[in-house]
A and B are shown apart, each in its own frame.
Chain A
């Protein structure tokens, strides 16, 4: 039982929050802060946007940290089936510097350490830039605790 898991509903859909799966890609709150605001408690405000708009952002979450279902479904969370379809076209990887935060990398990449050990990456991968993540080389959000600037 994951005690930090939360479910949020607006009557129409339910959004599932599984914090342990979050890789801090920051897509949710940079694109829809009216709903996803880490400064607020609860951090998800289901009245901040339409169900369609919330679904659009949930589908952009690169992991299953955010998932949803239509309440009428009464079924399993079907989001993973639709959200994980990755485009197979090999476009250039995009490295986005987040202000005072991580590198957010989109695209098909290979991540290794200098001993050749390969690390699993997702369609979006967040890498630490502040130097103090406890989950190197990935971002774990610690930059906020040390007020990293860069």
Chain B
């Protein structure tokens, strides 16, 4: 498995009931198409309750 060529540019890992981790080479765009500057690893909200959309602020813990 270690020699398997990488054929993806970004890794998306989600935790059921929690956030989505994005790592790698990606561009994030808001709903108007503007680029949101980020580092190369971010956590996005999946529960809909964050107060800092689109990023996770751990509000899912309160659900």
State whether A150 touches B48 (Cβ < 8 A): yes
State whether A90 and B12 are in contact (beta carbons under 8 Å apart), knowing that A95-B27, A129-B45, A137-B46 are contacts in the complex. no
Once the chains are docked, how many angstroms separate the CA of A72 from the CA of B6? 43
Whether a CB of chain B sits under 8 angstroms from the CB of A103 is yes
Task: Say whether chain B's binding surface is mostly helix, strand, loop, or mixed.
Answer: loop
Once the chains are docked, how many angstroms separate the CA of A94 from the CA of B28? 6
Total count of chain A residues near the partner, CB < 8 A: 31
Q: Give the residue name and chain of the A residue nearest to B38 (CB).
A: A95
State whether B15 touches A95 (Cβ < 8 A): no
Whether a CB of chain B sits under 8 angstroms from the CB of A75 is no
State whether A113 and B16 are in contact (beta carbons under 8 Å apart), knowing that A93-B9, A96-B29 are contacts in the complex. yes
Q: Which residues of A are in contact with B by a Cβ distance under 8 Å?
A: 90-99, 103, 105, 107-114, 127-132, 136-137, 143, 148, 150
Contacts of A129 in B (CB 8 A): 44-46, 48, 54
State whether A93 touches B24 (Cβ < 8 A): yes
Q: Looking at chain B, what size class is its interface with the partner chain?
A: 20 to 34
State whether A92 and B25 are in contact (beta carbons under 8 Å apart), knowing that A110-B8, A129-B48 are contacts in the complex. yes
Task: Say whether chain A's binding surface is mostly helix, strand, loop, or mixed.
Answer: loop
Q: Chain B CB within 10 Å — which of A110, A111, A114, A137 has the most?
A: A110
Q: List 19 A-B contacts (CB under 8 A).
A: A90-B7, A93-B26, A94-B26, A95-B22, A95-B26, A99-B31, A105-B12, A107-B10, A109-B10, A109-B12, A110-B11, A110-B12, A113-B13, A114-B15, A129-B44, A129-B45, A130-B48, A137-B14, A150-B50
